[in-house]
Amino acid sequence: MRIVVVEDDESLVEILSAFLSELGHKVVGVADNRDKALALAEYSKPDLVLMDVKLGTSFDGVDAALALRERLGIPSMFVTAYADDKVVSQAEKSMPYGYLVKPFERSELDVALKTAEKMIEVHLKIRAEEDTNRKNAEKLELYRQSVLKANYKFINSKKQKLAAELTRNV
């Protein structure tokens, strides 16, 4: 997968980047704050963003993940040291594809990424089916309109013939 890492701890960025590379993923960019994350994701179009909940002194990661989903349709997975109920509840608002608590092992990251990848596949399949359904509905509507027009023309031609016949008989 193509992944953007949003983390303000440089040593963790290096570890994450190494793990991701070893697991066959490509880090397409790194950001250390919300605004950089949004700009980078818009430019690089990653499959997934690994997001820390707390960036600097604020919990901007949740807002960034929500903006990524709403504006760009890009999913996030949180990689964070915060696992208390309040933070997790806040993070859930962005509908993350995973929540990995630091410190973690490479194998835990691997499992979380495989799960996220499967969720992305399912989401893309659903989106494709929705597009197909929308196109079929549009075709059906065009067909319905053409049938109505044909029926209208047919009925009008029958009315005209009947009117002409009635006027002839008068």
* Cα distance between residue 52 and residue 102, in whole Å: 10
The answer, yes or no, to whether residue 167 has pLDDT greater than 80, is no
Give the number of other Cβ atoms within 10 Å of residue 16's Cβ: 23
pLDDT in tens, 86-124: 888 888 988 999 999 988 999 999 999 999 999 999 988
Question: What pLDDT, on the 0 to 100 scale, is given for residue 136?
Answer: 86
Band (pLDDT 50/70/90 cuts) for residue 141 is confident
pLDDT in tens, 39-55: 999 999 999 999 999 88
pLDDT in tens, 61-90: 899 999 999 999 999 999 988 888 988 888
Query: Strands (DSSP E) along the chain, which ranges?
Result: 2-6, 26-31, 48-51, 76-80, 99-101
The answer, yes or no, to whether residue 163 has pLDDT greater than 80, is no
Angle between helices 60-67 and 34-44 in degrees, nearest 10: 30
Question: What pLDDT, on the 0 to 100 scale, is given for residue 20?
Answer: 96
pLDDT cut 70: percent of the chain above it: 98
- Tell me if the pTM is above 0.85: no
The answer, yes or no, to whether residue 151 has pLDDT greater than 90, is no
Question: What pLDDT, on the 0 to 100 scale, is given for residue 170?
Answer: 64
- More confidently predicted of 40 and 160: 40
Kindly list the structural domains of the chain, giving each domain's residue range(s) and its CATH number in brackets, ordered by start: 2-126 (3.40.50.2300)
Question: What pLDDT, on the 0 to 100 scale, is given for residue 137?
Answer: 87
Question: What pLDDT, on the 0 to 100 scale, is given for residue 106?
Answer: 92
CA Rg value for the chain: 27
**pLDDT mean over 27-33:** 95
